Amino acid sequence: MPVLFLMVPLCGIFLLNLPKRSIAAKFASWLVGLICVLLGVLAATSQMACWKPFNEAFVLPFSDLLSVDWFSAVMLFTIAMVTTAANAVGFDGEDRKKVLARSLLLICLTGMNGIVMVRDLMSVYVFLEITAVSCFVLIAIDQKIEALGGAFKYYILSGVATFAILIANAFVFMNVGSLQFADIQAALADAAAGDGALDLKISLVLFVIGLCVKAGVAPFHGWLPDAHASAPSAVSVLLSGVVIKVAGAYLILRLANEVFVEQPAARLALMVLGAFSIAVGAFGAIAQHDMKRVLAFSSVSQMGYIVLAAGLGSTLALMGAVVHIVNHAMFKSLLFVNAAAVKEQTGTTELDELGGLTERMPMTGWTSVVGLLSAAGLPPTSGFWSKLLIIMALFMADRWVFAIIALGMSIVTLGYLLMLQRNVFFGKLHAGLEELREARKSLTITALALATLTSVVGLAFPVLFYLLSQMGYV
């Protein structure tokens, strides 16, 4: 069954690139949407017992390389969800570009799905590169100068990351003789601070650097604001919504807790970087004058929370980190979808040229309130719970300094999000926007769906919590 997560998008790419391009262009969005929804449903049900017979009956090639545990399932669902949103935002331009973009979207989807399912470092590297390459092109697809610049920076820093990860793989392979997660873990458990300590440390450092670049954690985040802000709207949704999480945060979580366990120094490094990132992202966002850049910096800050929790590594923290990944995917895509709507209706995302949009675009305005509350970690939205879990975990581990930073930066987060809200959606209608209309249906429906999801998860969290505990995950 896990193979489906790779095969279905690949089939999609095949269908999109059939000779009759005009037909493909017409149905591209529906096709990709359908694929995403299908994958989402698959992901959501993947941990259910009903799949077991299928998994056993149809042993496809590579099946033994892929596995889907509940963490992967959550990630797969998140990927599907955000890709749906990105697809709904869509691309403009001629048919060829539309089809091309959607094909790249599917490639990216395939890459990400691969990352979360494979269980060896080499495959991780391969899928990482698939994702990254598709993203470079997606960012630059409109061939605008800023977007090209953004893509270039992403490319350069990604290069650093690729280099680091590859070398790290080599060190691990030299040491352990295998790149399978299970093998590495077993070998490390045996060696337990034996001869390979130096090699191991070097590889750890390299992994931290590489993955942090991918995750956009400060100070490795330089590419992120430029790339996310200059990319086409749909790509921004995808990048900020899910790519940085899958390529960065997910891998950090997976490696730190399944592969390189018991490494306090690396954990501390992650926590320091996380806390630094929270602060840099939050303060960085204040100084921005562009809606999308504010949101991009916000991503830096939010990734900091995830990495901080991943570094801490207690059960509570891991739960918080996973939930925060999902939450961040929801609210950040929501906010970027709304940014897309603003851009589409007003032609700009400059804060100085906006104001009072809620009067004319009520759906966009009110859903972004939900998004901002979630981003700031305020109840009753889902963002509250993940932040609460992270902060609780920090307190329980007596990590006072980190706890205070995490808590204190929440208020800065709220501050810049309120600034955003005030300058874009509230206040009096900005001059020249009198003719403004609500955004198109696909955007508002996506925003509404994400907002609903955010609030429902927030409201129903105690119930989810209860169910999870019944299922033994907590």
How would you classify residue 178: left for phi > 0, otherwise alpha for psi between -120 and 50, otherwise beta?
beta
Show the binding pattern over residues 264-303: x = contacts other proteins (CB under 8 A), - = does not: xxx-xx--xx------x--xxxxxx---------------
> How wide is the angle at C-alpha 229 spanned by C-alphas 223 and 232, nearest 5°?
115
Q: What minimum distance in Å lies between the beta carbon of 430 and other proteins? A: 11
Binding to other proteins, residues 363-392 (CB under 8 A): 373, 376, 378-380, 384, 388, 391-392
Strand-pair partners of 120? 180
Q: Which two tokens stand for residue 386?
A: 């993940």
Binding to other proteins, residues 151-210 (CB under 8 A): 152-153, 156-157, 160, 197, 201, 204-205, 208-209
Instruction: Round to whole Å and give the CA distance between 132 and 242.
Output: 12
Q: Is 11 in the site for other proteins (CB under 8 A)?
A: no
Q: Is 100 in the site for other proteins (CB under 8 A)?
A: no
> How wide is the angle at C-alpha 250 spanned by C-alphas 473 and 117, nearest 5°?
80
CA atoms within 13 A on the CB side of 459: 7
Distant-in-sequence contacts of 165-169, Cβ < 8 A, 24+ apart = 165/125, 165/128, 165/206, 165/207, 165/210, 165/211, 166/125, 167/203, 167/206, 168/202, 168/203, 168/204, 168/206, 168/207, 168/210, 169/121, 169/122, 169/125, 169/203
Binding test (CB under 8 A) with other proteins, winner from 15, 95, 222, 314: 222
Q: What minimum distance in Å lies between the beta carbon of 213 and other proteins? A: 6
**Residue (81 or 204) nearer to other proteins, CB:** 204
Binding to other proteins, residues 345-364 (CB under 8 A): 356, 359
**Residue (125 or 155) nearer to other proteins, CB:** 155
DSSP 261: -
**Residue (173 or 395) nearer to other proteins, CB:** 395
Compute the Cα dihedral for 401, 404, 408, 409 and give only its sign: positive
Binding test (CB under 8 A) with other proteins, winner from 7, 126, 170, 396: 396
Q: What minimum distance in Å lies between the beta carbon of 229 and other proteins? A: 11
Number of residues that bind other proteins (CB under 8 A): 70
Compute the Cα dihedral for 419, 421, 426, 430 and give only its sign: positive
Nearest to 436 by CA among 374, 331, 373, 363: 363
Residue ranges that bind other proteins, judged by CB under 8 A: 149, 152-153, 156-157, 160, 197, 201, 204-205, 208-209, 212-213, 218-220, 222-223, 225-226, 263-266, 268-269, 272-273, 280, 283-288, 316, 356, 359, 373, 376, 378-380, 384, 388, 391-392, 395-396, 403-404, 407-408, 410-412, 414-415, 418-419, 422, 426-428, 462, 465-466, 469, 474
